[in-house]
Amino acid sequence: MNIGYDAVKKRKEELEKEIEKICRCEKKYPKGELLCAKNDSRYKWYLKEANQTSYLSKNKRELAEELAVKKYYHYRREELECEFSACNAYLDKMSLRKNKSEQLFQHPEYRRLLARHFSPMKDSLMEWQNAEYERCNKHLEALTVKGTQGKMFRSKSEAIIDMLLYQNKIPFHYEEKLVLNTITLYPDFVIRHPRTGDFYYWEHFGRMDDVEYINHTCQKIKLYCENGILPSVNLITTFETKEHLLNIEKVEKIIQEYFIS
């Protein structure tokens, strides 16, 4: 079974555990639903229960907070259950089909004909990609853009890079810890070449209309160069401003140049 199937299966197990945890939590909260209605510039709290709505005074803040948490868990459970159903549908469909495209590589003549055009990921690289690693734990609230296999990213541009690396079966880690000259960095993408296994680093600099950010970018690239990680060699850099955004065509061209040609 392919890596996508295994990843979705793992995600389904994670969802099941989180849903069960939320269900246990929901039982602890009081009955009823909290409603917040704005009156002029202030909000008022109301308790909706059995088709009846009653006012909650401000001295019942603890109750209001509990009901707010309960509502959050309710909505969160609905979202997780939706994703859980989607995982089930994917797994059911994939379990009924054979990976005919991958099976071609088991045929000696097809493998010879396809070798120049496709590079199935080596077992060792697949193992590296799936291994646990130390990631950046700063500003996790900024991870708001969904990528492939349930991954979360800080920008749409990073999600584009993720999507195209995944589609081309190029193994990578996102924001993996890297120490250079006692300085800790978290490159956007640490990539292994699918044929050679060589390491590449891809940094996407997304705020190049900010002077302070530009200075930080230059210092970061300088640090890479001092440690033998060089632009156009094993360091890939992409840039954007509010007016000049990174696009899919640019990312496709870079991946073709570095990892497929």
161-170: pLDDT as tens digits: 999 999 888 9
Long-range CB contacts (< 8 A, 24+ apart) of 119-126? 119/169, 119/194, 119/195, 119/260, 120/169, 121/3, 121/169, 121/171, 121/194, 122/194, 122/197, 124/197, 125/171, 125/192, 125/194, 125/197, 126/3, 126/171
Q: How far apart are CA 166 and CA 174, in angstroms?
A: 12
The pLDDT of residue 223: 95
pLDDT at 1: 41
Domains of the chain: 14-91 (no CATH), 122-260 (3.40.1350.10)
* Residues across the chain: 261
pLDDT score, position 221:
96
Quote the pLDDT of residue 227.
Answer: 93
Tell me, what's the pLDDT at 72?
Answer: 94
The list of the chain residues with pLDDT below 70 reads 1-4, 95-99, 101-102, 105-106, 115-121
Closest C-alpha to 220, from 200, 244, 240, 237: 237
Q: Which of 132, 128, 121, 166 is nearest to 147 (CA)?
A: 166
> Could you tell me if 197 and 125 are in contact, meaning their C-beta atoms sit under 8 angstroms apart?
yes
pLDDT at 96: 63
